[in-house]
Amino acid sequence: MRPSLPFYLYSDWRSVGFAFVATFAVILPAAGKSSRFGDAFYKKPFAPLENRPVWMHAAEKFSNRPEVKQLLIVISPEDKDDFDEKFGGNAAMMGIEVVVGGTERSDSVQAALSRVRDDIDFVAVHDAARPCVAEEWIDRVFAAAEQTGAALLAAPVTATLKRVGNDKIIRETVPRETLWEAQTPQVFRRQLLLDAYARRGTELATDDAQLVERLPHPVTVVPCSAMNLKITSKDDLRLAAAILKVLPKPTLLSAPHPFADDHLWR
Ligand SMILES: Nc1ccn([C@@H]2O[C@H](COP(=O)(O)OP(=O)(O)OP(=O)(O)O)[C@@H](O)[C@H]2O)c(=O)n1
Ligand SMILES: C[C@](O)(CO)[C@H](O)COP(=O)(O)O
């Protein structure tokens, strides 16, 4: 990451002044068991995707952003030595700190959160298993978090959802009008996420927003494309390879207002 001052000097014919730029830390959880991935050799964050491991595709979307001042990847204890041997050099070159994770995803995030520097304003948590995130989507969720304190990328549910019994018989068709599928990055003011994790207790949470919702604190959804998929199965890895070929390229213009109606995510 490029060091830079936490402010920039701006000037125009009306004034000369300082504007403070928010700073971000990014946590990349990669310490899961990949039990649904079903590969005897690779866990999904380390599986090869277009000549690089999955985690590296996710990390490189953040490592050159000027506002990202700290990048941490979370690796399981049993994978730590292997990761250091295979990818330790890459992580060092990208300025990525390696943290040992825990049993649950929340344990892993909490381990990294304890390493986030006090001078950081916002913390973004992005699954290392989501390699297809586009820079412009990151722009939008970062901007939304700066405005609201808590925001995440999500895609509206478009399929018909059924609640099904163990006998595989449909019990209910679930109204989908207000349902969204949460993605990552999930981005929070640092102290807010610290407060949420301090109150976590033993309750399970499959994402970080749940813990902030419980405070309670409002969390804003930033609409995103279903192309920001999480690799869970081997089929998802094949899909990701195809998506990387058509992913929106970074735009030179600044990202539109995160709540603009003219989303490109459709
Ligand atoms: N204890 C855990 C569990 C998950 N993760 C990470 O959180 C992301 C999302 O989790 P998920 O897709 O569920 O990964 P796994 O838990 O590995 O998947 P599975 O449930 O198939 O084992 C992944 O990048 C995963 O590596 C983590 O860092 N620590
Ligand atoms: C964080 C997440 O990717 C949002 O959809 C999802 O909750 C991860 O859940 P998982 O069970 O750990 O895959």
Model pTM?
A: 0.90
| DSSP class per residue in 144-167 | HHHHHSEEEEEEE--S-EEEE-TT
What is the domain partition of the chain in residue ranges?
Answer: 21-246
How many Å lie between the centroid of ligand 2 and the Cα of residue 14? 48
- 71: how many CB neighbours lie within 10 A of its CB? 21
Confidence at 203, pLDDT banded by 50, 70, 90: confident
Rounded Cα–Cα distance for residues 21 and 24 (Å)? 10
* Domain 21-246 sits in CATH 3.30.950.10: no
User: How would residue 12 be classed by pLDDT, with cut points 50, 70 and 90?
Assistant: low
- pLDDT beyond 50 at 264: no
Contacts with 65 (C-beta within 8 Å, 6 or more apart), sequence order: 1, 24, 135, 138
Q: What is the pLDDT of residues 30-63, one digit of tens each?
A: 999 999 999 989 999 999 999 999 999 999 999 9
- Separation CA 230–CA 105 (nearest Å): 14
Q: Collapsing DSSP states into helix, strand and coil, what is residue 83?
A: helix
- Cβ–ligand 1 distance for 108 under 6 Å, the answer yes
Query: Angle of helix 105-113 relative to helix 190-198, nearest 10 degrees?
Result: 130
Taking only the tens place, the pLDDT of each residue in 59-112 is 999 999 999 999 999 999 999 999 999 999 999 999 999 999 999 999 999 999
C-alpha to C-alpha distance for 160 and 220, rounded to whole angstroms:
24
**pLDDT above 80 (res 214):** yes
Percent of the chain, pLDDT > 70? 86
Which of 243, 241, 197 is closest to 217 using CA atoms? 197
State the pLDDT at residue 134. 97
What ligand 2 atom has the least distance to the C-alpha of 127? 3
CB 102 within 8 A of CB 68: no
pLDDT given for residue 250 in this prediction: 58
Q: Which residue has the higher pLDDT, 253 or 27?
A: 27
Phi-psi region of 95 (alpha: psi -120 to 50; beta: other; left: phi over 0): left
Which residue CA neighbors atom 12 of ligand 2 most closely? 206
pLDDT, mean of residues 147-164: 98
**Percent of the chain's residues with pLDDT above 90:** 83
| Ligand 1 atom closest to the CA of 128, numbered from 1 | 24
The per-residue pLDDT of the chain, averaged, comes to 90
Q: Is the distance from the beta carbon of residue 230 to the nearest atom of ligand 1 less than 6 Å?
A: yes
Residues 6+ apart with CB under 8 A from 118: none
Residue 171: pLDDT over 60: yes
pLDDT greater than 50 at residue 125:
yes
Structure tokens at 174: 């679930």
pLDDT of residue 16: 57
- Residues 231, 225: Cα–Cα separation, whole Å: 15
Contact (CB, 8 A) for 247 and 134: yes
Q: Give the closest ligand to the alpha carbon of residue 101.
A: 1
- Is the pLDDT reported for residue 17 higher than 90? no
Helix (H, G, I), strand (E, B) or coil at 140: helix
Pairing of strands 170-174, 161-164: antiparallel
